[in-house]
Amino acid sequence: MRFGIIALPRAVQEVVEDARLAEMAGFHWLGMADSQSVYRELYTTAALCAAATSRIRIGPTVTNPVTRHPAITASAIATLDEISGGRAFCGIGTGDSAVLNLGERPVSLARLRAYVDAVRSLLRRRDTEYLGRRVHLGWPERPVPVYVVAEGPRTLELAGEIADGVIVGVGLQPELIREALAHVAAGATRAGRDLSALDLWAFARINVVDDVEAGIDEIRMELASCAHHAFRFTLEGKRVPPELAESILRVQRGYQPAQHERAAGANAELMRDPALRSYLAERFAVVGPADRCVEKLQAVAAAGVPNVLFTGFVRNRPRLIRTLGEAVLPRLALTSSVGPHPRPTSHLRSCE
């Protein structure tokens, strides 16, 4: 298994220290949130993290088609790849707090497809068309793998069809993961690829603590974010218990993008329904003592997703990173080297 952790660049130096600590702890990825209205600039901060590390891979988790033109994204991620010596990756989604805080809306799947296709082409130094206009980027030295974050059935299939890897955000239960992978595989088959060619990651909220209820309470704003994001547009096909549908819709109506992932505030207060909080924690989070965390993560890998991308937006984040590195990651058959993982084979074939 490989592991990543997402950074929220609220303060540049804190993120750089997180990057150093995550690399020492054995993490393979450092994901960087891209939300200009609530965090520091993604690529500037990522470049400093790259300069402060030597092995961990770094990239946006995730950027979006609204706030950055595909040529801007391709140029920025290729620059980061050059700075880091080939350690960059690029995560793309339909848009969340970055676009909502501008009064814009997440994009359609058709627009997401066009954006991913354009970014991948530009990273191969191929002129392309985007929204009816010709786009040029003539200097990237090598392709950078592009990942799509996906939750709904249609997005999962699209990711399997067009991306080099998929960040699966459906939850952590084995049955949900297996169902999601069936959708990813269907998309891959349409593109003449096999599921095994894709680099697969599960998205997980985490808090390693002895007191489970206190641990869940500490990340309740993250659970609100799950209800807001993972179930937006529609609940259809997302395996939501009918009795919790109204509670989820109430969270979505009350969610404040300006307070995205803020520990205390309006979004955290939306998690008052104990049944909803328990359900979201079980579905999307790994909370409890190290033994319990290891067991849940082993089940994720056994269901077919061998890599996990954590959040861990807790008060004492350095302690959490160290605890994961000491008590969780080594017990999950982590490889001895944390050097850059080979780029997905599907991406390599597409660049030949």
Tens digit of each residue's pLDDT (9 = 90 or more) over 70-79:
999 999 999 9
The pTM score is 0.93
Distance, CA of 49 to CA of 17 (rounded, Å): 8
Tens digit of each residue's pLDDT (9 = 90 or more) over 219-240:
999 999 999 999 988 888 889 9
Residue 343 pLDDT > 90 = no
Tens digit of each residue's pLDDT (9 = 90 or more) over 78-111:
999 999 999 999 999 999 999 999 999 999 999 9
One-letter identity of residue 189: T
Residue 339 pLDDT > 50 = no
Residue 127, token pair as written in the block: 């002129």
Residue 169 pLDDT > 60 = yes
CATH class of 2-214+284-342: alpha beta
pLDDT in the model for residue 338: 40
pLDDT in the model for residue 333: 65
Q: C-alpha 47: how far from its chain's center?
A: 19
Residue 347 pLDDT > 70 = no
Residue 12, token pair as written in the block: 């540049």
Tens digit of each residue's pLDDT (9 = 90 or more) over 247-259:
999 999 999 999 9
pLDDT in the model for residue 264: 85
What does the domain layout of the chain look like in residue ranges? 2-214+284-342
Distance, CA of 298 to CA of 161 (rounded, Å): 27
pLDDT in the model for residue 352: 28
For residue 236, the SS3 value is coil
Residue 171 pLDDT > 60 = yes
Residue 9, token pair as written in the block: 């660049």
One-letter identity of residue 332: L
Structure confidence at residue 210 as a pLDDT band (50, 70, 90): very high
